[in-house]
Structure 1
Amino acid sequence: MLDIKVINKNADGSFRVEPCGCENNITVYDVRFCARKMCSPEKITVEFNIPYVGAFSVWNSGCGLVRNILPDWRPEHQVSKSRLASGIPIQSVISQDGSNVFTLSVTDAKTPIEISTGSEEAGKSCLCRVSFFAEPVGQLVEYKTQIIIDERKIPFYEAIKAAAERMRQGKQVVPDAARMPMYSTWYNYHQNINDDELIEECKRAYELGMRSIIIDDGWQTDNNGGGYSYCGDWQVCQHKIKDMRSFIDKIHNIGMKVILWYSVPYVGRRSDVWEHFQGKYLDSEENEQNCLDPRFPEVREYLAGIYEKAASEWELDGFKLDFIDAFEFTEYSDKVSAERDFDSLEDAIECLLSEITARLKQTNPDIILEFRQSYIGPVVTQYGNMIRVGDCALDAFINRVGVLDLRMTSGKAAVHSDMITWNADETNESVSKQLIAVLFGVPQVSVKLAEITKEHRSVLKFWLDFWIENQNVLLDGKLKIYNPEANYSMAEAELNGKKICVCYSRNIVDYSGGNLTAVNGTGESFIALRGNGKIKYIICDCMGANIESGIKDIKDIAVFDVPQSGLLIAEGEG
């Protein structure tokens, strides 16, 4: 067992960390804080050392592209920050071959927690710190959770997935529509939307395989200047959408569902309700926009009522609920009002999400709810059924990493890409790479379909057709992810003898029989298969055109000339 030291004990009560058991290289420690009376505990930190043997990289849900091991004395050393509305309390240390060295997690995904791992030079070890109540919390008299250290020599993605599943609460129900490609208005229109134009775009999107439109910011305001100072009233801007119900009916008649954007916490100074909610904001009332405080029942009722009314009156199919991670305490947050029925912000956020979900599902049991990074944890994902990568326009690299990160921790929720967009002068291969980057998630597309070239339309059609045909393998197959230290050089999914492998920077693919599709998402023009036996193969370009086919006898390694953004389809012969 580890020697766990409590660095800063809380004067408000007793704090203990005790070993609970070790089985199959998974060690569990019980954590308990007992207050002398109701209090808001100050931050408590524990630390311990684990030998740094075989460690090469680090992962947490907020690490982005920074995955190297850092010394503990560096102020930016790897820290996993989590609370109900942001992040996940998991920190994983990984070997170069992709095996788990150890994965450190806390089973409480609601309370603000920080987990850090930094190299400790003198002892050649990893100095691990876990901080509880890392941000202000509501009053409590007792707190219990567990620290879990998983040292199994298994693939890193399996250890991370297992840690997330230990925290998951409730059953995840995902409507089929959340698992189909979607059209988004954001990167192509921003706030400058028009109902007649969007109806025509929906017709084009449907032909390409998209089955929902996400109508983003702009539908609720005449102002197109950005920002959120006009948010809060949620009335339709009739210069943009003349009649919301009629507009939605027309889109439904095309065969598409409608998802509408709302910024959940924000109320702007220029809204009619700005004055009404004075005293019930989390930040300074001098701001141009502010975050509502969900600890007030009136706030929760207002928000849930708006969404329920929209779903019922307009027959909406879903909601893009934005900025839930912006619910945060500040120095201006209320501390004394008797109108609040919660002291804990995290509990209030969960209550808000629970109330919204329950009321919307009464209206439509298959309601679609989109959340996005960083509110992605196991508690909130029992409410949101599609989880999107954070905004990264034009950045296939970040989109790829985000999709694969989310696939490890989101359970059954439909993981969505950030909206795919591109410059009109891009090559067909580069457009393809935007789509190839997110094949293991559900693609969202945000270009004006009326304005893309005929070739770009063919590229989009091919890859969306490919994705739809292989949806069950890509989303439900056994997922393997390679080289986290290189932000994933390759990923593959396999289901019922069919494997799809996407090469991002690594071109060597293992083949052991069955049906294989290898996608060339690298900057090179080849893919090498490693295996033995005779195969039938087809090579296609980025628009699906067959450019070569034949039979080849593989002995150890065989190299195939596959163009960038092309595919190699192989099947055992005989």
Structure 2
Amino acid sequence: MATTSITIGAPSTFAPDLWSDHGLQTASTHGTVVTALAPQGTVRLVLADEALGTCAAVTARIDTVVTVRLDVPLGDAVGYWHPNAGSDRTLPADWSPWRHVSLVESAPAGCLYDTAGRALLAFATDRTVALTGVRFGVSEEHKRFGVWLRLPLTAGETYRIRLLPPGGTVAGTLRALRRWFAALPGGEPMPTPEFGRTPVYSTWYSFTQDVCAADVEREAALAAELGFGQLFLDDGWQRYGSGRGYSGCGDWRPDPDKFPDLRTHVETVHALGLRQVLWIAPLLLGERSDVFPWLSRFATHWSPTLECWILDPRHVEVRDHVLRTCLQLVDEFGLDGLKADFLDEAMVYAGTRGAQDSTLDGYLPDVGAALAAMLTDLRQGLRDRRGDEFVIELRQRYTGPAMTAFGNLLRANDCPADAVANRVRTLDIALLAPGGTVHSDMLMWDPQADADVVARQFHGALHAVPQISARLAELPDAHRDALAFWLSTWRALRPTLLSGHYEPGRPDQLYPQVIATGDDRCVITCFVDRIVPLCPDLRQVSLINATSAHQLFLDLDAPWTVHLSPHDAQGRAQAPLIRELTPGLNTVDVPPGGLCHLREAAELT
């Protein structure tokens, strides 16, 4: 892995010559033109057809900075998917800003697609750790869509780009790319223990930093009764953990008033049948911490938002501190895992020089390579202690395919009470992550609202492991009943929801209908009023009505006699019945926010 310190130096404004191909190396495959924008004779471009698409290899003859352009005709393009798309899911112009991807910032992959949700241009690269500059957009002059990848190469180094043929669905195309990512050297995903695939009770939205052992243990007992498998003790357990600032971070010792005996607290949670995971932000350094005097020289960036300094992981002293601190927490308190937060803050050091007074060898000039080294040591240290029975939670935006080698729980970025964002973010992660288990952001809702809000929040987390962060002891009975129903439903459908083959539709439409299939079961979640294609070859179908409509429209190509078992949003069973569904359109009554299980009627006789 190269750790060259050649800077990318991407321009901040559009340069017209980025569309030039005069005197440059150009090749094409499946309608995609690949161009190496580099001084003549500095690089060599070779395309080779392989079992999984085409490999474009760019090899440097001397140390240089190269820009590779991938471009296709616009055709019927409507959107461009990439791991950090967020809410920006339409077509940008080619003068949009450069951005960076690295180990902890998105991933080097993208997919341009048309109105039918079919891929027009899909690519991934093997530079998953070190920094790459990326730009993409529509050319007003050329009526083409381009992607530019800018990076330094040392003499003899080869950069590989995987290009897939057009025509597949976005989900199917990205699944193929994630298999390729997993096969890269060092890309093998961490295994996920069974408990990592069980519902999580989180303290964050329910308590924020105002947390203590007695309150958490009361919630843990209720969570165990509802079928949770994990408890995540979030921010606030540590010394000086109050006021939403991080001036005390660095020592990572329990607050003696909130958790006077953290080991006994963890044992209490274990006795209830829950695993316990602890939040830590190992790269944050506060001025009130005991370690600040000797670590501050490796934390030259001040974050006014977090009210603390950011440690630079390129220094071996920082990596050693993080490893020592994390392993001590696990050993001393008997933890089952760590929730590693704010790792992406390290990217403030990209392209800068590190501190000059490092006393030890081991400085790594590339931030991504430094974080990979740090996380490799942490993974091995935890494996030495727990085998594969431990979890490390990573948060979007650092849930890309390379990070699944270092973390096995991949959580959607914070989106309090935003079920739509939770749906989109969890599906975005799952589309490209070659391993690990996707977790939702924590579900929260207004405890004074109608109990149907519980269902609406849960719908956004259906295709991930749900994390819940509501004060269970204070929930109204109707809310608790609705939560119990959806947790029970999720557990029953989990094999299909987490491990089945799914198609969620177009990304720019925010994944309007998710169809997940596995074995002989199908789970279809409708987030908008849209006809549901149904195949009677499936013996069991669960229809989830995440809309405000009172019925769903089913389209069958053959007759089907089914037993219908509907429930409303709060889980209350409605009258079951047997229906003769005919070829073509059929309507089925499903309460708003509720669900209906369909089974072959003959199996019930």
Q: Same fold (TM over 0.5)?
A: yes
Equivalent position of 2:20 in the other structure: none
The offset of 1:436, in angstroms, is 1.1
Asked whether the equivalents of residues 440 and 465 of structure 2 are also in contact (C-alpha less than 8 Å), the reply is: yes
Shift of 1:426: 2.0
- 310-319 or 285-294, which moves further after superposition? 285-294
2:167 is aligned with 1:153: yes
2:90 corresponding residue in structure 1:
68
Name the SS for the 1:275 alignment partner. helix
Q: Is the 8 A contact 2:209 2:236 kept in 1?
A: yes
Distance 1:222 1:455 in 2: 37
- Which secondary structure does the structure 1 equivalent of 2:398 belong to? coil
Question: Where do residues 469-484 of structure 1 align in structure 2 (5 Å cutoff)?
Answer: 469-484=492-507
Instruction: Spell out, residue by residue over 1:504-548, the C-alpha distance to the aligned partner (whole angstroms, 9 max, x if none).
Output: 114321221221001001132211111131222122112322213
2:591 matched to which residue of 1?
Answer: 563
Which of 329, 333, 337 pairs up with 1:314? 333
Alpha-carbon distance in structure 2 between the residues aligned to 1:24 and 1:222: 55
Q: SS of 2:255's equivalent?
A: coil
Moved more, 168-177 or 235-244: 168-177
Q: Distance in 2 between matches of 1:25 and 1:311?
A: 41
Residue from 24, 38, 51 that aligns with 2:73: 51
Q: 1:98 to 1:24 in 2, by over 3 A?
A: farther
One-letter amino acid of the counterpart of residue 306, structure 1: T
1:140-179 Cα deviation digits (max 9, x unpaired)? 5553221222123111112112223322312431111110
* Amino acid in the other structure paired with 1:122: E
Q: Does 1:510 align with 2:537?
A: no
Inter-partner Cα distance in structure 2 for 1:103 and 1:233? 45
Counterparts of 1:320-331 in structure 2 under 5 Å?
320-328=339-347, 329=349
Which residue of structure 2 aligns with residue 281 of structure 1?
Answer: 299
Residue 259 in structure 1 maps to residue 277 in structure 2:
yes
- 1:161-220 CA distance string (max 9 Å, x none): 222332231243111111000000101111111101111110001111111111111111
- Counterpart residue type for residue 318 of structure 1: G
Give the equivalent residue in structure 2 for 1:300: 319
Are positions 1:359 and 2:376 aligned together?
Answer: no
Structure 1 stretch displaced more, 49-58 or 252-261:
49-58
What's the counterpart of residue 508 of structure 2? 485
Q: 1:307 to 1:45 in 2, by over 3 A?
A: same
| Equivalent residue number for residue 373 of structure 1 | 396
Distance in 1 (CA, whole Å) between partners of 2:350 and 2:563 is 63
Moved more, 183-192 or 406-415: 406-415
Match for residue 180 of structure 1? 198
Question: Once the 2 structures are TM-superposed, how far is the Cα of residue 122 of structure 1 from its aligned partner?
Answer: 3.0
Aligned length: 558
Give the secondary structure class of the aligned counterpart of 2:525.
strand
Quick check: 2:67–2:149 contact (8 Å CA) kept in 1?
yes
Indicate if the aligned counterparts of 1:515 and 1:570 stay in contact, CA closer than 8 A. Answer: yes
Deviations 1:79-137 (A, max 9, x none): 7741011111111011222211121221221121233332223332213322224xxxx
Q: TM-score, normalised by structure 2?
A: 0.88
Partner of residue 136, structure 1: none
Match of 1:551 among 578, 582, 589: 578
Distance in 1, Cα, partners of 2:189 & 2:143: 43
Give 1:432's aligned residue: 455
Cα separation, 1, equivalents of 2:445 and 2:510: 22
Partners of 2:303 and 2:224 lie apart in 1 by 44
Contact 1:387 1:413 in 2 (8 A): yes
* Counterpart amino acid of residue 522 in structure 1: T
**CA deviation map 1:402-458 (0-9, x unaligned):** 011111112231100000000112222222010011111000000111111100000
1:334 aligns with 2:364: no
Cα shift at 1:364? 1.2
Asked if 2 retains the 8 angstrom alpha-carbon contact of 1:80 and 1:89, the reply is: no
Give SS of 1:277's match: helix
Instruction: Tell me which residue corresponds to 2:124.
Output: 105
Asked whether the 8 Å contact 2:563–2:579 carries over to 1, the reply is: yes
How far, CA to CA, are the matches of 1:237 and 1:538 in structure 2?
Answer: 50
- Of 196-205 and 25-34, more deviation after overlay is shown by 25-34
Residues in 1 aligned to 2:457 and 2:289: alpha-carbon distance in whole angstroms:
38
1:320/1:493 CA distance change after superposition, 3 Å: same
In structure 2, do the counterparts of structure 1 residues 55 and 23 end up closer, same or farther at CA, with 3 Å as the change threshold?
A: farther
Paired residues of 1:161 and 1:408 also in contact (CA < 8 A): yes
C-alpha distance in 2 between matches for 1:229 and 1:15: 49
What is residue 4 of structure 2 aligned with on the other side? none
State the alpha-carbon separation in 2 of the partners of residues 480 and 9 from structure 1: 43
Deviations 1:23-55 (A, max 9, x none): 57933210123445xxxx6x5323243112232
Whether 1:541 and 2:561 are equivalent positions in the alignment is: no
Matches of 2:599 and 2:124, distance apart in 1:
41
Q: Which moved more, 1:257-266 or 1:524-533?
A: 524-533
Q: CA RMSD in A?
A: 2.2
AA aligned to 1:554 is L
- Equivalent residue letter for 2:507: P
1:27 equivalent to 2:51? Answer no
> Contact 2:118/2:169 (CA < 8 Å) preserved in 1?
yes
TM alignment of 1:405-424, pairs within 5 A: 405-424=428-447
Do 2:227 and 2:487's aligned partners in 1 also have CA atoms closer than 8 Å?
A: yes
Aligned to 2:139: 120
Structure 2 counterpart of 1:257, one-letter code: R
Q: Within 2, Cα distance between the matches of 1:496 and 1:318?
A: 32
- 1:463 corresponds to 2:486: yes
Q: 1:553 to 1:86 in 2, by over 3 A?
A: same
Distance verdict in 2 for CA 1:220–1:122, change over 3 Å: same
User: Could you list the runs of 5+ residues in structure 1 that have no partner in the other structure?
Assistant: 134-138
Alignment match of 2:157 (pick from 143, 152, 164): 143
**Match for 1:334: what amino acid?**
G
Residues 1:108 and 1:165: Cα distance change in structure 2 (over 3 Å): farther
**Paired AA for residue 56 in structure 1:** V
Q: Is the 8 A contact 2:130 2:367 kept in 1?
A: no
CA distance in 2, matches of 1:112, 1:285: 22
Gaps of 5+ in 2: 1-26
Counterpart mapping for 1:211-230 below 5 A: 211-230=229-248
**Any conservation in 1 of the 2:545–2:592 contact (CA below 8 Å)?**
yes
2:551 and 2:458 map into 1 onto residues whose CA distance is 19
Identity of aligned residues (%): 25
CA distance in structure 2 between the partners assigned to 1:359 and 1:204 by the alignment: 33
Contact kept, 8 Å, 1:291 with 1:327, in 2: the verdict is yes
